[in-house]
Chains A and B, each alone.
Chain A
Amino acid sequence: MYMDSKKRKKYAERLKGITFLAPSGLGVLAFFIIPFFVIIYYSLVDNPVQKNFVGLKNFMSLLTNVAFSEASINTLVFSAIAVPMAVILSLLLAMLLDMGLPGKSHFRTIFLCPLMVPVASVVIVWQVIFDANGALNEIIKNFGGTAVDWMNSAYNQLIILSLFLWKNLGYNMVLFLAGLNNMPDDLIEVARLEGAGAWKIFWKIKIRYLSPMIFFVAILSLINSFKIFREVYLLTGGYPYGHIYYMQHFMNNQFEALNYQKLSAAAVLMSIIMVIIIGILFIVENRFGREVEE
């Protein structure tokens, strides 16, 4: 009798737990999970109407597609530049705030400001500066240089980068600040008593202690760098030149053409890459977390 009522209670509890999860769970199933399986299916057939199974043909044609490979390479190159800069600069900002400078809270407010300001509102300033007739070229001409059409040159990736960093550094900085705040003071105190210099404390203790956070910020920046489209679209209006044709541009073109096979294959491919990246993140977080706790 006793066991039975306990079992029933457990069952009832589980049911209640599911009830609270149901709205969200059903929505996620309906809008993300189930259609994602449909996409996997679409990526394996010749088209959504005839539905002939073609195996990996869609993936093959995607990988040999010039626009797709260009978009992938451009996105990867951008990520390779943007991620280290996003990590190093935001760590630098967090360290600056952690130094105990006068006006610290004002500095923090200012560093966080771009996080809140919509990119769309400030692109106009970037346009005024970097346009062929823009402010930067006027300055260069004043010093006797020749004007460059920045947005239509190889430098355009750097302009996009500046906008990306401007927008994303604040978020990363807050994460690092939280990490620095959690750092036990006695650890540094002991090192200081043992005669370790500031440089040594920085590398051997602070960076080591922050390493899981550094890794997390790096992955977050990597994921954010894949989303680099908004900035390009707002800055160039959707017809980018050369190196700033990114993954999302390719996807948008496929949406416009309603090319379901290509869209699906690209989404599946991208999701596989993402799952690998996230898996690495989890493994490293577990391992590092344990090490630091010891």
Chain B
Amino acid sequence: MQRKKKVFHIFGFILSLIFSILFIYPTVVTLADSFMSENEISAHYGRVLEKSADDGMMYSNGGRDTTYKTDKVSVRIIPDKVTLSQYVSVLFKSPEYLFKFWNSVKLVVPILVFQIMVALGASYSFSRYGGRIKEITFFLYIILMLMPYQVTLVPNFIVADWMGTLDTYWSIILPGIFSPFAVFILTKYMRRIPSSYVEAAMIDGAGEWKIFTRIYIPLSKSAIVSVAILIFIDYWNMVEQPLIMLSDVDKHPLGVFLAQINTGETGLAFAIASVYMIPCILLFLYCEEYIVEGITYSGGLKA
């Protein structure tokens, strides 16, 4: 019996190891290759990445034949020579990538801050007061949260068209602020706050605003952090909204731009990709527990 269990554990460990390698491999390759020189990238991956520069279409087979490229493309994890030259180029020689990064920040930060502010009030209302109408409204929020972009982008687009905000960041930020995701998670969290706290505060003469700012918000701190991280990942990753709302390519966030990078300076692609993921990785390393907590709260639709 014990032996059987041991074999089972060894098998599980090997399986976990295999999954780990598969899961972390793309990230490690991207980070590691960002320390290669541009020539080395070109030499290793040129046959894959640079052919598209010729005709603008990616998967045509007309590769450009230059002599310095290797015939064999293989994924390299360890650079021949570790260098920061890609980063130097990104930072100083090609500032347009930094502008794109800044575009991402300009889109994500307002959505993040205001979505949480708006959601705090709504969640407070949902968790403090019951009633049939409130229940139906909350149900509506859940349906809205689960709707794919194919549905929600059409109303958003029409409103942006009416307001004349198409091709400006407002067309993405405004609907983003009222996205119901944060309301959903925060309401589920706030509903667990014991009503005895509120009663005690009321006896002490606290009004609604005080109960909201002195009890509910401080007690929901960890949920707020969790939600903020999940919103950040979601919008940092966004592709659909900018593609539809912003026809001006200069306004696109870095994520969208990365898809088109193959037609340009491929030698820098890994460094740009790394710069783009660094905020996410830092958040992950410092806030893993919050992320897990946030996801756990999203499980199950009943509050």
Interface residues of A (CB under 8 A from B): 13-14, 16-25, 27-28, 30-33, 35-36, 38-39, 92-93, 96-97, 99, 101-102, 107, 109-129, 131-135, 138-139, 149, 151-152, 166, 170-171, 174-175, 177-179, 198, 212-213, 216, 223, 226-227, 229-230, 233-239, 241, 247-248, 251-252, 255, 260, 263-264, 266-267, 270-271, 274-275, 278, 281-282, 285-286, 289
CA separation between A135 and B259, bound complex, in Å? 20
Are A237's CB and B295's CB within 8 A? no
User: Once the chains are docked, how many angstroms separate the CA of A171 from the CA of B237?
Assistant: 15
Judged by a CB distance under 8 angstroms, whether B75 is at the interface is yes
| Known pairs A31-B178, A120-B254, A274-B147 / 12 extra A-B pairs, C-beta < 8 Å | A17-B134, A18-B125, A20-B122, A35-B154, A35-B156, A112-B284, A117-B281, A125-B75, A138-B72, A174-B292, A175-B296, A247-B150
Which one of A115, A128, A149 has the highest number of Cβ atoms from chain B below 10 Å of its Cβ? A128
Q: In the complex, A267 Cα to B154 Cα: how many Å? A: 7
Given A116-B233, A133-B47, A274-B148, also A39-B154 (CB < 8 A) = yes
Cβ contact within 8 Å between B73 and A128: yes
Q: State whether A116 touches B150 (Cβ < 8 A).
A: no
Contact, CB under 8 Å: A282 / B284: no
Contact check, B159 vs A35: say whether CB atoms are below 8 A apart: yes
Residues of B contacting A247 with CB < 8 Å? Answer: 150
A271 touches B291 (CB 8 A): no
Q: Give the CA-CA distance A177 to B59 in the complex, in Å.
A: 41
Say whether B174 faces chain A, with CB atoms less than 8 Å apart: yes
- Which one of A13, A28, A179, A227 contacts B149 once the chains associate, using CB atoms below 8 Å? A227
Within 127-145 of B, Cβ neighbours of A (below 8 Å) are at 128-129, 131, 134, 137, 140-144
Say yes or no: A127-B49 contact (C-beta < 8 A), given A21-B122, A270-B151, A274-B147.
yes
B239 A233 Cβ-Cβ under 8 A = yes
Residue of B nearest to A256 (CB): B244
Contact of B155 with A by CB under 8 A: yes
Q: Are A30 and B12 CB-contacts (below 8 A) given A128-B73, A135-B74, A267-B151?
A: no
State how many angstroms separate the Cβ of B152 from the closest Cβ of chain A.
7
B150 cross-chain contacts in A, Cβ below 8 A: 226, 247-248, 251, 266-267, 270
Q: How far is the CB of B175 from chain A (nearest CB, A)?
A: 5
| B274 and A121 contacting across the interface, CB-CB below 8 Å | yes
A169–B276 alpha-carbon span in the complex (Å): 22
Fill in one digit per residue for B47-68: 1 if any A CB lies within 8 Å of its CB, else 0.
1110100000111010100000
Q: Bound state CA distance, A114 and B166, in angstroms?
A: 32
Question: With a CB–CB cut-off of 8 A, which chain A residues contact B243?
Answer: 233, 252
Chain B residues within 8 Å of A, Cβ to Cβ: 8-9, 12-13, 15-16, 19-20, 22-27, 29-30, 45, 47-49, 51, 57-59, 61, 63, 72-75, 118-119, 121-122, 124-126, 128-129, 131, 134, 137, 140-144, 146-159, 174-175, 177-178, 180, 183, 208, 212, 233, 236-237, 239-240, 243-244, 254-256, 258-260, 262, 269-270, 273-274, 276-277, 280-281, 283-284, 288, 291-292, 295-296, 298-302
Whether A20 contacts B29 in the complex (CB less than 8 A), given A113-B24, A174-B292, comes out as no
- Contact partners of B149 in chain A: CB under 8 A: 227, 229, 248, 251
Please give me the residue from chain B that is nearest to A247 by CB atom. B150
Q: How far is the CB of B185 from chain A (nearest CB, A)?
A: 13
Q: A115-B291, A247-B150 are in contact. Are A233 and B129 (CB under 8 A)?
A: no
In contact, A285 and B141 (Cβ under 8 angstroms): no
When the two chains form their complex, are residues B72 and A23 in contact, meaning their CB atoms are under 8 A apart? no
Q: In the complex the two chains form, what is the Cα distance from A267 to B61 in whole Å?
A: 37
The distance from the CB of A222 to the nearest CB of chain B, in whole angstroms, is 10
Question: What would 9 A/B residue contacts be, using CB atoms closer than 8 Å?
Answer: A20-B124, A23-B122, A28-B141, A101-B13, A115-B291, A134-B48, A252-B243, A255-B157, A271-B151
* In contact, A128 and B59 (Cβ under 8 angstroms): no
Please measure, in the bound complex, the distance between the C-alpha atom of A237 and the C-alpha atom of B257, giving whole angstroms: 10
Determine how close the nearest CB of chain A comes to the CB of B138; give it in whole angstroms.
Answer: 10
> In the complex, how many angstroms separate the beta carbon of A45 from the nearest chain B beta carbon?
14
Question: Nearest A residue to B128 by beta-carbon distance?
Answer: A17
Contacts of B47 in A (CB 8 A): 133
Nearest to A228 among chain B residues (CB) is B148
Known: A20-B212, A121-B30, A271-B147. A113 touches B270 (CB 8 A): no
Chain A residues with Cβ below 8 Å from B233 are 115-116, 118
With A116-B233, A271-B151 already in contact, the answer to whether A138 and B74 are too (CB < 8 A) is: yes
Shortest distance in angstroms between A225's beta carbon and chain B's nearest beta carbon?
Answer: 9
**Residue contact B48 to A24, C-beta cutoff 8 Å:** no
B9 to A101, Cβ gap below 8 A? yes
- Chain B residues whose C-beta falls within 8 Å of the C-beta of A230 in the assembled complex: 237, 239-240
A35 and B125 in contact (CB under 8 A), knowing A115-B291, A281-B301?
Answer: no
* Cross-chain contact B262 with A127 (CB below 8 angstroms): yes
Is B57 touching A239 in the complex (CB atoms < 8 A)? Answer: yes
Chain B's closest residue to A219 (CB) is B146
A119 contacts across to B, CB distance below 8 A: 237
Q: Are A16 and B208 in contact (CB under 8 A)?
A: yes
Tell me which residues across on chain A come within 8 A of B146, comparing CB atoms.
223, 274, 278
